[in-house]
Amino acid sequence: MNTIIAIALLTVSATAQFEQAYPQLFVVNVQPSQLISRTEVRDDAGQFALSYRTADGTVVNEQGLLKSVGAGNQVLVKQGSFAFLTPEGIPVQLKYIADENGFQLV
């Protein structure tokens, strides 16, 4: 009987601690911005170039090109940029490359 009570108390205690460690998620209501322009070109090898611009000032450009890395091996190198305004109106622009060396901001 004592064992059952001890197990019940441990279960209640563990459940209470779990709920404190992982609070419930909340949902932010964000409305999508209207798409102003979009282009996308792809080839049979998987290479691509794409870009889009939205009404809120977001601009995204990305391209993926195959690169030889020796012994007949190829990797798809992605490079691009994106720009947007923060909720405070601060412009942010980032450029990146992702290749055999990983993802890098440039």
pLDDT tens-digit readout, 40-84: 999 999 999 999 999 999 999 999 999 988 888 889 999 999 999
Alpha carbon distance 23, 72 (integer Å)? 50
Region 23-36: what's the mean pLDDT? 78
**CA–CA–CA angle 90, 91, 92 (5° rounding):** 115
Q: What is the pTM of this model?
A: 0.65
Do 74 and 68 meet the contact criterion of CB atoms below 8 Å apart?
Answer: yes
Q: List b or e across 91-104, with b for residues whose CB sees 16 or more CB atoms inside 10 angstroms.
A: eeeeeeebeeeeee
- Domain ranges within the chain, ordered by starting residue: 32-105
* Sign, Cα dihedral of 8, 9, 13, 16: positive
pLDDT tens digit sequence for 88-104: 889 999 999 999 899 99
Region 5-22: what's the mean pLDDT? 61
Tokens of 62: 């990305």
